[in-house]
Chains A and B, each alone.
Chain A
């Protein structure tokens, strides 16, 4: 079967009404310039030493290897079960658990989970457990010393590969394809970790990179002294290490979500995307990523030049400030998928292998309730997410500029701010579905 964008789904959202689009655009501009010009003239966010520590007992449990290995074991069982369902369950997507668990519950669910609980995938990543087990056979990583030089680039590549599968590949919703991808992804990741050591996952597992990045906006963080703390999410975000490849990860996420939006527009569906071809899809996704990259690089480099700072470090220095914007895009595009089509996971979980008469949790006869959230609510969430992401992004960029030069003129930041405003307009425009 053919499917709409984002892997699986039975519906896409209505275009947002003109009133909301204009209101969103106006609010974004007004709030941006209020932040930039009226308030916030000195750095205000706490640094790496800020935050209220968790009770020692709770921190000990959360940080204990035993606790994490147990969780990883649990996730591994679930993952193996889903892979088994992908291959042995019903062959048609609407009745197979795997695509829904993977594209909706896991991929989209990773966002709220990381936002509320911190870098969860790092703690429960089943591949870390597999790596640990294989270490008994392969005692030493051969190239651990090379890993830091790669930065987050491997993670950016892994994410791009997954996003291509989700948004472009022709049989993305086919359960067997999902199962094969999960197996292949696991094999490649574990192979790399054997080569580079367990730290590979934090740099090269796209899902872990994604989850840890979003967790920068969660209320949980780790202080400079290593203690788990409860703190202002913006302080965590501004403290994101300026690793090479960080900007690439953010740009890939933003660009691919923009392509997801583009592929829902009338223009795409009746133009380049009408024949559903892999080539046009691939080119479209690459074009959107390239566009976002070009805009972002231009904005950061120009801002850096105006402020008389070293140009080469600018893109990664400001990458963390785009996290909220990427998050806003993600919420705007996937919120309805999660709450509406996400119900399918819980329906199919009652009968993962499609055996007659099986109804484990008594949900198998439930019917998808597409009216669970009204169209108006969805539109409000979409516009709200984009605006909030925009405001947080501009605020973070402003703080970042003040941190790197106390007497920075606000006008030095204009190029980057213009780029962020354009991202917001682009996001609203795609939701408007022209």
Chain B
């Protein structure tokens, strides 16, 4: 092997590490849609995570996207839909019927780690991803 070939890989290694670090930097700035609506409007002092989603014409608004909660957190999920539907939290396998316009609450402890879909069956939309870590 020629001696010149050893300098190139070293430069390359440095370059690649820089790429990784840049990637990591980007990742750190990932959208943290998890900023909670912590103003517990319900009055009772709820320690834990409250997630509120409203679905209008099949479009979800509110705490949508990726919601991050630490494992063990008591979670209160409030869903309001403009049509009759059924909300389903995968993995935890929690389901509840929704009446039009009426806020419906799911309460559970986030005990299993992973990323789980929160889905409306009728509208066929994923309204949020719950990330428990």
Contact = CB atoms under 8 A, between A and B. Distances in A.
Nearest to B131: A14
Given A266-B31, A269-B129, A375-B114, A411 B8 contact: yes
Size class of the A contact interface (CB-based, 8 Å) = 35 or more
Nearest to B5: A411
Interface in A409-434: 409-411, 414, 418, 421, 425, 428-429, 432-434
B62 interface: no
Nearest to A270: B65
Contact of B9 (A4, A41, A414): A414
Contacts of B93: 10, 94, 368
Interface in B116-131: 116-117, 119, 121, 124-126, 129, 131
B56 interface: no
Given A10-B116, A12-B115, A410-B5, A22 B24 contact: yes
A169 interface: no
Given A13-B114, A14-B115, A411-B8, A266 B30 contact: yes
B102 interface: no
A404 interface: no
Given A37-B9, A266-B66, A414-B12, A14 B20 contact: no
Nearest to A9: B90
A375 B2 CA distance: 46
B113 interface: yes
Contacts of A25: 16-17, 20
Contact of B113 (A14, A26, A41, A267): A14
Contacts of A12: 114-115
Interface string B8-45: 11001100110111011011101101000000000000
A10 B113 CA distance: 12
Nearest to A33: B9
Nearest to A269: B129
A33 B5 contact: no
B73 interface: no
Interface in A1-50: 1-2, 4, 10-15, 18, 21-22, 25-26, 29, 33, 36-37, 41
Contacts of A390: none
A33 B115 contact: no
A105 B33 CA distance: 35
A348 to B, nearest CB: 14
Contacts of B12: 414, 418
Residue picked from B21, B31, B129, most chain A C-beta under 10 Å: B129
A177 interface: no
Chain A residues touching B, majority SS: helix
A370 B91 contact: yes
Nearest to A371: B112
Contacts of A411: 1-2, 4-5, 8-9
Contact of A21 (B5, B17, B20): B20
B115 A18 contact: no
A37 B125 contact: no
B111 to A, nearest CB: 8
Contacts of B20: 21-22, 25, 425, 428
Given A11-B114, A375-B114, A434-B30, A270 B66 contact: yes
Interface string B76-114: 000000000000101101000000000000000000111
Given A1-B121, A266-B30, A269-B129, A11 B13 contact: no
Contacts of B6: 37
Contacts of B125: 2, 276
A266 B19 CA distance: 20
Contact of B90 (A11, A264, A269, A418): A11
A276 B9 contact: no
Contacts of B112: 11, 370-371
Given A10-B93, A22-B20, A37-B9, A432 B27 contact: yes
Contacts of A36: 9
Contacts of A22: 20-21, 24
Nearest to B93: A10
Nearest to A266: B66
A410 B66 CA distance: 45
Given A14-B115, A411-B4, A428-B20, 19 more contacts: A2-B119, A10-B93, A11-B116, A14-B113, A14-B132, A18-B24, A29-B17, A266-B31, A269-B65, A276-B125, A370-B91, A370-B112, A375-B113, A410-B5, A411-B1, A411-B2, A425-B23, A434-B23, A434-B30
14 contacts: A2-B125, A10-B90, A14-B115, A14-B131, A33-B9, A37-B9, A276-B125, A368-B93, A370-B114, A371-B113, A428-B20, A432-B23, A433-B27, A433-B30
